Copies of this chain bind each other. A is one copy, B any other.
Amino acid sequence: MAHSGVSASQLRDHSKALIFEIAEMRDAAEEGYSNDRCSINLPFDKKIAKEASLLAKRHKGVDALVVVGIGGSNLGTIAVQEAVLGKLHNQAGVGPKVFYSDTVDTYAMKDLLRILAGLRKAGKTVVVNGVSKSGGTTETTANFEILTEFLRKTDRRADEHIVVTSDEGSPFWKLAEKKGYHRLAIPKKVGGRYSVMSAVGQYPLRAIGVDVDQLLKGAADMRKACLGGDIGKNPAAQRAALLHHHYLHGKNIADMFYFCPDLESVGRWYRQLMGESIGKEWDLRHKMRVQCGMTPTVSIGSTDLHSMAQLYLGGPVDKFTTFVTLDGKRSAGAGGVSVPRDKEYEALVPHIQGRKLSELMDAIYQGISIAYSKNERPYCHVGLHGKDEYQIGALLQMHMMEMMYLGRLLGVNPFDQPNVEAYKVETKRILAGK
Protein backbone atom coordinates (compact mmCIF):
# COMPACT_ATOMS: atom_id res chain seq x y z
CA MET A 1 0.00 0.00 0.00
CA ALA A 2 3.06 2.27 0.08
CA HIS A 3 2.18 3.74 -3.32
CA SER A 4 -1.29 4.74 -2.12
CA GLY A 5 0.20 7.33 0.23
CA VAL A 6 -1.95 6.12 3.14
CA SER A 7 -0.64 4.13 6.10
CA ALA A 8 -2.42 1.15 7.64
CA SER A 9 -3.22 3.15 10.78
CA GLN A 10 -4.66 6.03 8.76
CA LEU A 11 -6.84 3.54 6.93
CA ARG A 12 -8.01 2.14 10.26
CA ASP A 13 -9.01 5.64 11.39
CA HIS A 14 -11.13 6.13 8.31
CA SER A 15 -12.65 2.71 8.74
CA LYS A 16 -13.99 3.60 12.19
CA ALA A 17 -16.06 6.35 10.64
CA LEU A 18 -17.55 3.79 8.27
CA ILE A 19 -18.88 1.39 10.90
CA PHE A 20 -22.26 3.15 11.00
CA GLU A 21 -22.57 3.38 7.25
CA ILE A 22 -21.77 -0.30 6.80
CA ALA A 23 -24.50 -1.07 9.35
CA GLU A 24 -26.99 1.11 7.48
CA MET A 25 -25.99 -0.47 4.21
CA ARG A 26 -26.68 -3.91 5.67
CA ASP A 27 -30.10 -2.72 6.79
CA ALA A 28 -30.75 -1.36 3.29
CA ALA A 29 -29.88 -4.78 1.90
CA GLU A 30 -32.98 -6.11 3.69
CA GLU A 31 -35.37 -3.27 2.92
CA GLY A 32 -36.32 -3.61 -0.75
CA TYR A 33 -36.67 -0.20 -2.37
CA SER A 34 -37.54 1.98 0.62
CA ASN A 35 -34.01 3.15 1.45
CA ASP A 36 -31.85 5.65 -0.48
CA ARG A 37 -29.21 2.92 -0.78
CA CYS A 38 -31.70 0.52 -2.36
CA SER A 39 -29.89 0.22 -5.70
CA ILE A 40 -27.73 -2.40 -3.99
CA ASN A 41 -30.74 -4.71 -4.17
CA LEU A 42 -31.18 -4.54 -7.93
CA PRO A 43 -28.86 -7.48 -8.74
CA PHE A 44 -31.20 -9.75 -6.73
CA ASP A 45 -34.48 -8.52 -8.23
CA LYS A 46 -36.00 -11.45 -10.13
CA LYS A 47 -39.01 -9.45 -11.36
CA ILE A 48 -36.94 -6.79 -13.11
CA ALA A 49 -34.67 -9.42 -14.64
CA LYS A 50 -37.68 -11.39 -15.90
CA GLU A 51 -39.47 -8.40 -17.44
CA ALA A 52 -36.36 -7.09 -19.19
CA SER A 53 -35.45 -10.57 -20.32
CA LEU A 54 -38.90 -11.34 -21.75
CA LEU A 55 -38.99 -8.12 -23.75
CA ALA A 56 -35.44 -8.63 -24.97
CA LYS A 57 -36.39 -12.14 -26.10
CA ARG A 58 -39.42 -10.74 -27.91
CA HIS A 59 -37.03 -8.40 -29.73
CA LYS A 60 -34.53 -11.15 -30.45
CA GLY A 61 -33.31 -10.91 -34.00
CA VAL A 62 -33.68 -7.12 -34.33
CA ASP A 63 -30.85 -5.55 -36.27
CA ALA A 64 -30.36 -2.28 -34.43
CA LEU A 65 -31.27 -0.66 -31.15
CA VAL A 66 -31.30 3.07 -30.47
CA VAL A 67 -31.05 4.01 -26.80
CA VAL A 68 -32.49 7.50 -26.29
CA GLY A 69 -31.37 8.75 -22.91
CA ILE A 70 -28.84 11.02 -21.26
CA GLY A 71 -26.75 10.91 -18.08
CA GLY A 72 -27.81 8.07 -15.80
CA SER A 73 -30.15 6.86 -18.52
CA ASN A 74 -27.42 5.74 -20.91
CA LEU A 75 -23.97 5.98 -19.28
CA GLY A 76 -24.20 2.59 -17.57
CA THR A 77 -25.45 0.90 -20.72
CA ILE A 78 -22.63 2.37 -22.82
CA ALA A 79 -20.08 1.43 -20.15
CA VAL A 80 -21.09 -2.23 -20.10
CA GLN A 81 -21.64 -2.49 -23.87
CA GLU A 82 -18.26 -1.06 -24.80
CA ALA A 83 -16.42 -2.99 -22.10
CA VAL A 84 -17.93 -6.34 -23.05
CA LEU A 85 -18.56 -6.00 -26.81
CA GLY A 86 -15.88 -3.43 -27.64
CA LYS A 87 -15.94 0.10 -29.01
CA LEU A 88 -15.89 -1.19 -32.58
CA HIS A 89 -18.90 -3.45 -32.00
CA ASN A 90 -21.14 -1.86 -34.63
CA GLN A 91 -18.48 -2.13 -37.30
CA ALA A 92 -17.40 -5.65 -36.44
CA GLY A 93 -20.74 -6.93 -37.77
CA VAL A 94 -21.49 -9.35 -34.92
CA GLY A 95 -24.97 -9.10 -33.38
CA PRO A 96 -27.36 -6.14 -33.38
CA LYS A 97 -25.89 -2.67 -33.78
CA VAL A 98 -26.46 -0.15 -31.00
CA PHE A 99 -26.72 3.62 -31.22
CA TYR A 100 -27.05 6.27 -28.54
CA SER A 101 -28.96 9.51 -28.88
CA ASP A 102 -28.30 11.78 -25.93
CA THR A 103 -27.91 15.51 -26.54
CA VAL A 104 -29.90 17.67 -28.96
CA ASP A 105 -27.23 18.03 -31.63
CA THR A 106 -28.33 18.68 -35.21
CA TYR A 107 -25.30 17.01 -36.79
CA ALA A 108 -25.46 13.90 -34.63
CA MET A 109 -29.19 13.49 -35.28
CA LYS A 110 -28.81 13.93 -39.03
CA ASP A 111 -26.03 11.32 -39.15
CA LEU A 112 -28.07 8.90 -37.06
CA LEU A 113 -31.22 9.36 -39.17
CA ARG A 114 -29.21 8.75 -42.33
CA ILE A 115 -27.82 5.49 -40.93
CA LEU A 116 -31.21 4.33 -39.70
CA ALA A 117 -32.83 5.16 -43.04
CA GLY A 118 -30.21 2.98 -44.72
CA LEU A 119 -30.97 0.12 -42.35
CA ARG A 120 -34.74 0.40 -42.83
CA LYS A 121 -34.31 0.55 -46.58
CA ALA A 122 -32.36 -2.70 -46.40
CA GLY A 123 -35.27 -4.22 -44.51
CA LYS A 124 -33.55 -4.24 -41.13
CA THR A 125 -35.52 -3.98 -37.89
CA VAL A 126 -34.84 -1.03 -35.60
CA VAL A 127 -35.97 -0.71 -31.99
CA VAL A 128 -36.08 2.61 -30.12
CA ASN A 129 -35.73 2.56 -26.33
CA GLY A 130 -36.52 5.89 -24.65
CA VAL A 131 -35.13 6.12 -21.13
CA SER A 132 -35.95 8.93 -18.71
CA LYS A 133 -36.39 8.40 -15.01
CA SER A 134 -38.29 11.61 -14.37
CA GLY A 135 -40.05 11.31 -17.71
CA GLY A 136 -39.51 15.00 -18.43
CA THR A 137 -35.96 15.31 -19.77
CA THR A 138 -35.77 17.94 -22.53
CA GLU A 139 -33.17 16.21 -24.72
CA THR A 140 -34.67 12.75 -24.38
CA THR A 141 -38.19 13.95 -25.16
CA ALA A 142 -37.05 15.86 -28.25
CA ASN A 143 -34.94 13.00 -29.62
CA PHE A 144 -37.52 10.36 -28.76
CA GLU A 145 -40.19 12.28 -30.67
CA ILE A 146 -37.94 12.59 -33.73
CA LEU A 147 -36.85 8.95 -33.70
CA THR A 148 -40.25 7.44 -33.04
CA GLU A 149 -41.73 9.63 -35.78
CA PHE A 150 -39.06 8.22 -38.10
CA LEU A 151 -39.92 4.69 -37.04
CA ARG A 152 -43.66 5.18 -37.49
CA LYS A 153 -43.10 6.51 -40.98
CA THR A 154 -40.96 3.58 -42.04
CA ASP A 155 -42.21 0.61 -39.99
CA ARG A 156 -45.81 -0.64 -40.03
CA ARG A 157 -45.14 -2.41 -36.74
CA ALA A 158 -43.46 0.60 -35.15
CA ASP A 159 -45.37 0.45 -31.86
CA GLU A 160 -44.10 -3.07 -31.30
CA HIS A 161 -40.56 -1.69 -31.66
CA ILE A 162 -40.74 1.16 -29.17
CA VAL A 163 -39.85 0.71 -25.50
CA VAL A 164 -40.14 3.30 -22.74
CA THR A 165 -38.20 2.93 -19.50
CA SER A 166 -39.29 5.36 -16.79
CA ASP A 167 -40.62 5.75 -13.26
CA GLU A 168 -44.07 4.21 -13.00
CA GLY A 169 -46.66 6.95 -13.34
CA SER A 170 -44.31 9.59 -14.78
CA PRO A 171 -45.54 11.74 -17.72
CA PHE A 172 -43.40 9.59 -20.05
CA TRP A 173 -44.88 6.40 -18.59
CA LYS A 174 -48.41 7.67 -19.12
CA LEU A 175 -47.66 8.76 -22.68
CA ALA A 176 -46.26 5.32 -23.48
CA GLU A 177 -49.42 3.73 -22.11
CA LYS A 178 -51.60 5.97 -24.30
CA LYS A 179 -49.53 5.29 -27.40
CA GLY A 180 -49.34 1.56 -26.79
CA TYR A 181 -45.56 1.29 -26.38
CA HIS A 182 -43.81 -1.32 -24.26
CA ARG A 183 -43.02 -0.08 -20.78
CA LEU A 184 -40.41 -0.96 -18.16
CA ALA A 185 -40.43 0.57 -14.70
CA ILE A 186 -37.54 1.94 -12.61
CA PRO A 187 -37.95 1.68 -8.81
CA LYS A 188 -38.62 5.26 -7.60
CA LYS A 189 -35.85 5.43 -5.02
CA VAL A 190 -33.15 4.27 -7.45
CA GLY A 191 -31.35 7.38 -8.71
CA GLY A 192 -30.18 7.65 -12.32
CA ARG A 193 -26.50 7.20 -11.55
CA TYR A 194 -27.23 4.03 -9.55
CA SER A 195 -29.66 2.57 -12.08
CA VAL A 196 -27.48 0.51 -14.44
CA MET A 197 -28.62 -2.82 -12.92
CA SER A 198 -32.31 -1.85 -13.28
CA ALA A 199 -34.34 -2.05 -16.49
CA VAL A 200 -32.43 1.08 -17.61
CA GLY A 201 -29.37 -1.07 -18.36
CA GLN A 202 -30.91 -4.53 -18.39
CA TYR A 203 -33.27 -4.19 -21.34
CA PRO A 204 -30.88 -2.68 -23.91
CA LEU A 205 -27.95 -4.83 -22.80
CA ARG A 206 -29.99 -8.03 -23.02
CA ALA A 207 -31.38 -6.95 -26.38
CA ILE A 208 -27.90 -6.65 -27.89
CA GLY A 209 -26.70 -9.94 -26.48
CA VAL A 210 -24.82 -9.04 -23.30
CA ASP A 211 -25.04 -11.74 -20.62
CA VAL A 212 -26.84 -9.62 -18.04
CA ASP A 213 -27.26 -12.55 -15.64
CA GLN A 214 -23.47 -12.73 -15.29
CA LEU A 215 -23.35 -8.95 -14.89
CA LEU A 216 -25.82 -9.23 -12.01
CA LYS A 217 -23.92 -12.15 -10.51
CA GLY A 218 -20.71 -10.12 -10.50
CA ALA A 219 -22.58 -7.26 -8.84
CA ALA A 220 -24.21 -9.56 -6.29
CA ASP A 221 -20.92 -11.15 -5.28
CA MET A 222 -19.28 -7.74 -5.01
CA ARG A 223 -22.14 -6.44 -2.85
CA LYS A 224 -21.39 -9.18 -0.36
CA ALA A 225 -17.72 -8.20 -0.19
CA CYS A 226 -18.65 -4.53 0.19
CA LEU A 227 -20.98 -5.18 3.14
CA GLY A 228 -18.09 -6.68 5.15
CA GLY A 229 -17.10 -5.04 8.42
CA ASP A 230 -13.36 -5.56 7.99
CA ILE A 231 -12.26 -2.59 5.89
CA GLY A 232 -9.13 -4.42 4.77
CA LYS A 233 -11.36 -6.88 2.94
CA ASN A 234 -14.09 -4.47 1.85
CA PRO A 235 -13.06 -3.01 -1.51
CA ALA A 236 -15.66 -0.21 -1.60
CA ALA A 237 -14.93 0.96 1.95
CA GLN A 238 -11.20 0.78 1.31
CA ARG A 239 -11.45 2.89 -1.82
CA ALA A 240 -13.69 5.40 -0.05
CA ALA A 241 -11.11 5.71 2.74
CA LEU A 242 -8.28 6.24 0.25
CA LEU A 243 -10.21 8.87 -1.71
CA HIS A 244 -11.26 10.61 1.49
CA HIS A 245 -7.73 10.73 2.79
CA HIS A 246 -6.40 12.25 -0.40
CA TYR A 247 -9.27 14.72 -0.67
CA LEU A 248 -8.40 15.96 2.83
CA HIS A 249 -4.77 16.26 1.73
CA GLY A 250 -5.38 18.59 -1.19
CA LYS A 251 -6.00 16.23 -4.08
CA ASN A 252 -8.99 17.69 -5.92
CA ILE A 253 -8.69 15.38 -8.95
CA ALA A 254 -9.45 11.64 -9.02
CA ASP A 255 -7.95 10.17 -12.18
CA MET A 256 -9.32 6.82 -13.37
CA PHE A 257 -6.60 5.37 -15.57
CA TYR A 258 -7.72 2.35 -17.62
CA PHE A 259 -5.13 0.22 -19.38
CA CYS A 260 -7.72 -0.93 -21.93
CA PRO A 261 -9.51 1.43 -24.36
CA ASP A 262 -12.77 -0.52 -24.16
CA LEU A 263 -13.08 0.54 -20.52
CA GLU A 264 -13.12 4.26 -21.31
CA SER A 265 -16.89 4.47 -20.95
CA VAL A 266 -16.73 2.83 -17.54
CA GLY A 267 -14.74 5.96 -16.71
CA ARG A 268 -17.42 8.22 -18.15
CA TRP A 269 -20.03 6.45 -16.07
CA TYR A 270 -17.77 6.89 -13.03
CA ARG A 271 -17.49 10.61 -13.78
CA GLN A 272 -21.20 11.06 -13.25
CA LEU A 273 -21.24 8.75 -10.24
CA MET A 274 -18.51 10.70 -8.45
CA GLY A 275 -19.37 14.14 -9.84
CA GLU A 276 -23.00 14.07 -8.76
CA SER A 277 -22.54 12.05 -5.57
CA ILE A 278 -19.87 14.05 -3.79
CA GLY A 279 -19.76 17.33 -5.75
CA LYS A 280 -21.82 19.23 -3.24
CA GLU A 281 -22.37 22.86 -2.26
CA TRP A 282 -23.94 22.00 1.09
CA ASP A 283 -23.33 19.40 3.75
CA LEU A 284 -25.78 16.60 4.52
CA ARG A 285 -27.96 18.75 6.74
CA HIS A 286 -27.90 21.76 4.41
CA LYS A 287 -26.37 23.86 7.17
CA MET A 288 -22.79 24.35 6.06
CA ARG A 289 -21.62 25.53 2.63
CA VAL A 290 -18.85 23.05 1.91
CA GLN A 291 -18.29 23.27 -1.89
CA CYS A 292 -17.04 19.70 -1.66
CA GLY A 293 -15.90 17.41 -4.44
CA MET A 294 -13.13 15.79 -6.42
CA THR A 295 -13.12 16.19 -10.19
CA PRO A 296 -13.10 12.73 -11.78
CA THR A 297 -10.99 12.41 -14.93
CA VAL A 298 -10.52 9.48 -17.31
CA SER A 299 -7.20 8.41 -18.80
CA ILE A 300 -6.46 5.54 -21.17
CA GLY A 301 -3.24 3.55 -21.04
CA SER A 302 -1.03 3.63 -22.92
CA THR A 303 -2.71 6.21 -25.18
CA ASP A 304 -2.73 9.04 -22.67
CA LEU A 305 0.84 8.44 -21.57
CA HIS A 306 1.61 10.09 -24.90
CA SER A 307 -0.44 13.15 -24.01
CA MET A 308 -0.77 13.46 -20.25
CA ALA A 309 2.25 11.68 -18.69
CA GLN A 310 4.31 14.88 -18.75
CA LEU A 311 1.70 16.68 -16.63
CA TYR A 312 0.96 13.66 -14.43
CA LEU A 313 4.64 13.08 -13.58
CA GLY A 314 5.96 16.64 -13.62
CA GLY A 315 2.98 18.90 -12.82
CA PRO A 316 1.22 19.69 -9.55
CA VAL A 317 0.69 16.81 -7.10
CA ASP A 318 -3.07 17.35 -7.14
CA LYS A 319 -4.35 13.91 -8.16
CA PHE A 320 -5.12 10.53 -6.69
CA THR A 321 -4.94 7.93 -9.45
CA THR A 322 -6.64 4.56 -9.80
CA PHE A 323 -4.93 2.30 -12.32
CA VAL A 324 -7.30 -0.32 -13.71
CA THR A 325 -5.62 -3.17 -15.57
CA LEU A 326 -6.65 -6.47 -17.09
CA ASP A 327 -4.55 -9.35 -15.90
CA GLY A 328 -4.76 -13.11 -15.77
CA LYS A 329 -6.64 -14.33 -18.85
CA ARG A 330 -5.49 -11.32 -20.77
CA SER A 331 -1.88 -12.49 -20.93
CA ALA A 332 -2.93 -16.08 -21.56
CA GLY A 333 -2.05 -17.68 -24.84
CA ALA A 334 -5.49 -18.19 -26.33
CA GLY A 335 -6.54 -15.37 -28.61
CA GLY A 336 -3.48 -13.21 -28.10
CA VAL A 337 -1.91 -11.08 -30.81
CA SER A 338 1.85 -11.00 -31.26
CA VAL A 339 4.25 -8.67 -33.01
CA PRO A 340 5.75 -10.49 -36.02
CA ARG A 341 9.46 -11.33 -35.87
CA ASP A 342 11.29 -8.99 -38.21
CA LYS A 343 14.89 -8.15 -37.35
CA GLU A 344 14.78 -5.00 -39.42
CA TYR A 345 12.59 -3.40 -36.75
CA GLU A 346 15.14 -4.00 -33.96
CA ALA A 347 16.68 -0.61 -34.74
CA LEU A 348 13.34 1.11 -34.05
CA VAL A 349 12.43 -0.53 -30.74
CA PRO A 350 14.52 -3.34 -29.26
CA HIS A 351 13.09 -6.37 -27.43
CA ILE A 352 9.56 -6.39 -28.87
CA GLN A 353 9.93 -8.74 -31.86
CA GLY A 354 7.68 -11.77 -31.53
CA ARG A 355 6.17 -10.63 -28.24
CA LYS A 356 2.51 -10.47 -27.31
CA LEU A 357 0.75 -7.10 -27.28
CA SER A 358 -0.44 -7.90 -23.75
CA GLU A 359 3.19 -8.34 -22.64
CA LEU A 360 4.01 -4.91 -24.02
CA MET A 361 0.98 -3.37 -22.29
CA ASP A 362 1.99 -4.99 -19.00
CA ALA A 363 5.53 -3.65 -19.33
CA ILE A 364 4.20 -0.17 -20.03
CA TYR A 365 1.91 -0.35 -17.01
CA GLN A 366 4.78 -1.54 -14.83
CA GLY A 367 6.92 1.29 -16.15
CA ILE A 368 4.39 4.01 -15.39
CA SER A 369 3.57 2.64 -11.93
CA ILE A 370 7.26 2.66 -11.01
CA ALA A 371 7.56 6.22 -12.34
CA TYR A 372 4.53 7.29 -10.27
CA SER A 373 6.12 5.84 -7.14
CA LYS A 374 9.48 7.48 -7.83
CA ASN A 375 7.78 10.82 -8.47
CA GLU A 376 5.64 10.45 -5.32
CA ARG A 377 2.34 10.46 -7.17
CA PRO A 378 -0.14 8.46 -5.04
CA TYR A 379 -2.14 5.72 -6.73
CA CYS A 380 -3.98 2.50 -6.16
CA HIS A 381 -4.49 -0.46 -8.44
CA VAL A 382 -7.61 -2.39 -9.45
CA GLY A 383 -6.75 -5.57 -11.33
CA LEU A 384 -9.53 -7.20 -13.32
CA HIS A 385 -9.36 -10.80 -14.54
CA GLY A 386 -10.75 -9.79 -17.93
CA LYS A 387 -13.55 -7.58 -19.20
CA ASP A 388 -16.42 -10.03 -19.30
CA GLU A 389 -19.85 -9.36 -17.81
CA TYR A 390 -19.04 -10.81 -14.39
CA GLN A 391 -15.94 -8.63 -13.97
CA ILE A 392 -17.68 -5.47 -15.14
CA GLY A 393 -20.73 -6.09 -12.95
CA ALA A 394 -18.45 -6.41 -9.94
CA LEU A 395 -16.49 -3.29 -10.87
CA LEU A 396 -19.58 -1.09 -11.24
CA GLN A 397 -21.12 -2.40 -8.02
CA MET A 398 -17.91 -1.67 -6.10
CA HIS A 399 -17.85 1.91 -7.39
CA MET A 400 -21.50 2.54 -6.50
CA MET A 401 -21.03 1.39 -2.94
CA GLU A 402 -17.68 3.19 -2.73
CA MET A 403 -19.48 6.43 -3.52
CA MET A 404 -22.10 5.86 -0.82
CA TYR A 405 -19.30 5.26 1.70
CA LEU A 406 -17.37 8.28 0.48
CA GLY A 407 -20.47 10.48 0.84
CA ARG A 408 -20.71 9.39 4.46
CA LEU A 409 -17.04 10.15 5.16
CA LEU A 410 -17.38 13.59 3.55
CA GLY A 411 -20.67 14.34 5.29
CA VAL A 412 -22.58 14.99 2.08
CA ASN A 413 -25.65 13.38 0.52
CA PRO A 414 -24.52 10.97 -2.23
CA PHE A 415 -28.07 10.54 -3.55
CA ASP A 416 -29.26 14.02 -4.60
CA GLN A 417 -28.13 16.62 -7.18
CA PRO A 418 -29.80 19.91 -6.15
CA ASN A 419 -27.53 22.27 -8.12
CA VAL A 420 -28.50 20.77 -11.45
CA GLU A 421 -31.80 22.65 -11.22
CA ALA A 422 -29.94 25.98 -11.45
CA TYR A 423 -29.42 25.81 -15.20
CA LYS A 424 -32.60 23.90 -15.97
CA VAL A 425 -34.67 26.74 -14.52
CA GLU A 426 -32.88 29.23 -16.78
CA THR A 427 -33.22 27.02 -19.85
CA LYS A 428 -36.96 26.53 -19.26
CA ARG A 429 -37.42 30.27 -18.83
CA ILE A 430 -35.62 30.94 -22.12
CA LEU A 431 -37.62 28.28 -23.98
CA ALA A 432 -40.84 29.77 -22.60
CA GLY A 433 -39.72 33.12 -24.06
CA LYS A 434 -39.87 34.86 -20.68
Task: Indicate which residue in B86, B282, B345, B431 contacts A111 across the interface (CB closer than 8 Å).
Answer: B86
Minimum CB–CB distance from A219 to chain B (whole Å) comes to 21
Task: Indicate which residue in B252, B339, B420 contacts A316 across the interface (CB closer than 8 Å).
Answer: B252
Q: Contacts A112-B88, A171-B347, A281-B314 hold; do A352 and B138 have CB atoms under 8 A apart?
A: yes
- Interchain Cβ contacts under 8 Å between A and B, 29 examples: A70-B302, A70-B303, A103-B303, A104-B302, A104-B360, A105-B261, A107-B260, A109-B337, A139-B302, A139-B306, A139-B364, A141-B339, A141-B349, A142-B339, A146-B339, A171-B347, A179-B344, A252-B253, A272-B306, A275-B310, A279-B310, A279-B312, A291-B315, A293-B316, A295-B319, A305-B420, A367-B424, A367-B425, A371-B426
Are B104 and A88 touching (Cβ within 8 A)? no
- Give bound CA distance, A374 to B337, whole Å: 54
Are A306 and B340 touching (Cβ within 8 A)? no
Q: Contacts A103-B300, A106-B335, A419-B313 hold; do A340 and B145 have CB atoms under 8 A apart?
A: yes
Minimum CB–CB distance from A360 to chain B (whole Å) comes to 4
Minimum CB–CB distance from A325 to chain B (whole Å) comes to 11
- Give bound CA distance, A192 to B350, whole Å: 22
Is residue A149 within 8 Å, beta carbon to beta carbon, of the partner chain? yes
Can you list the 7 inter-chain pairs with the closest CB atoms, starting with the nearest? A279-B311, A71-B306, A367-B427, A293-B315, A272-B307, A281-B314, A367-B426
Is residue A383 within 8 Å, beta carbon to beta carbon, of the partner chain? no
Minimum CB–CB distance from A75 to chain B (whole Å) comes to 7
Are B104 and A348 touching (Cβ within 8 A)? no
Is residue A351 within 8 Å, beta carbon to beta carbon, of the partner chain? yes
- Give bound CA distance, A174 to B88, whole Å: 33
Which of A279, A307, A351 is most buried by chain B, counting CB atoms within 10 A of its CB? A307
Is residue A361 within 8 Å, beta carbon to beta carbon, of the partner chain? yes
Are A420 and B309 touching (Cβ within 8 A)? yes
